[in-house]
Amino acid sequence: MKTPRELPGQLTAAPFTIAAARSLGIPNTRLRQSDIIHVSRGLYRPAAWNFELESAARALSAASPGAWISHVTAARLRCQILPPWLSDSDELHLSKPRALPEVRRKGVLGHTVLALDGEVETVDGIRISTRPRTWLDLARRLNLPELVCMGDELVRIPRPEFEGRSEPYATFDELRAMVGRHPNLQGIVRARAALDLMRVGSDSAPETLLRLAMCDAGLPEPELQLRLHPAGPFSPTADLGYRRRRLAIQYDGGHHLVASQVVSDRRRDRAFEAAGWTVLVLTRDDQSDGYAGAVAKIKRILRTSYLSPAAAAGFSSTI
């Protein structure tokens, strides 16, 4: 049996298009050998290739002129917040404008949508929906709290020293304008509702879900990124809480288990306690009941904490 011609390295590492193969001088007869699998029209992959989302999306984008990677695939490629049941999804979503034929590729979830200027971009060679547009596309699939979590990530103010950017991914005005441009999109009602519930200041999905649980339980809306000293840029900060009641609530996720972070967290909490605040530290375990237990603790603390008559009169409307 004749040994198949060895493929160039770039065709053995990831899916590739027929155009890419031809540009390297690979004939059609070579593409029919057993070490290559025909995925769909104009798209191939090495038989030994183990699925990797970015490589698959890159090849799919290259093989689909005029289309773009969207929905869950776009969110995963950008590491946007997704609920646990979607965070490891290998779904491949491809969107096309109405002027092009609908997507008919094996293993690809196709969408025919209206995308306006500024809602699709090219990043590292992949044509992909923008973060805000991805959020809007997922309004149909995510429930309201999940969509609020994803939206809070868009509007939060980043920390330049850690994230290399100083501006949020989107502003409320930009999101409202985008939602207004798509009044008939499926999920648009949920997107509008999510916009009303989104807030600047949530650093993680657990923090957002805690805030929503507190409000659903009838508690006043907490202040986010609550500084012990409001005018101090380097002041210790609580994730959320109530200044008038001197209650600081911290959500400590997995990274807070690192020794250096534990020391920093304890220093932060001691600063609040030294100023007469109550500090409530919550962890992943508090999510198991939808924060019902945590909300009950917060209510008990608020009932027993001292509040002057004047402050009590304004507490329900002012934090």
Same structural domain, 77 and 213: no
Number of domains composing the chain: 3
Contact criterion met (CB below 8 Å) for 81 and 55: no
Residues 132, 211, single domain; the answer is no
pLDDT of residue 95: 97
Q: Which domain, by its residues, includes 131?
A: 53-200
Domain co-membership, 155 together with 276: no
Same domain, 72 and 164: yes
Asked which of 200, 217, 245 is the last residue of a domain, the reply is: 200
pTM above 0.75, yes or no: yes
Given 200, 216, 249, the domain boundary residue is: 200
Q: Give the Cα separation of 92 and 65 in Å (integer).
A: 16
**214 neighbors 298 (Cβ within 8 angstroms):** yes
Domain boundary, last residue among 177, 200, 223: 200
Provide the pLDDT for residue 163. 87
Q: What percent of the chain has pLDDT over 90?
A: 66
pLDDT, position 119 = 98
Helices and strands counted in the chain (H then E): 13, 12
The CATH number covering residue 210 comes to 3.40.960.10
Q: 99 with 184, same domain? A: yes
Kindly give the parts of the chain with pLDDT less than 70. Answer: 1-5, 254-260, 306-319
Asked if 60 and 194 sit in the same domain, the reply is yes
Shared domain check, 258 and 121: no
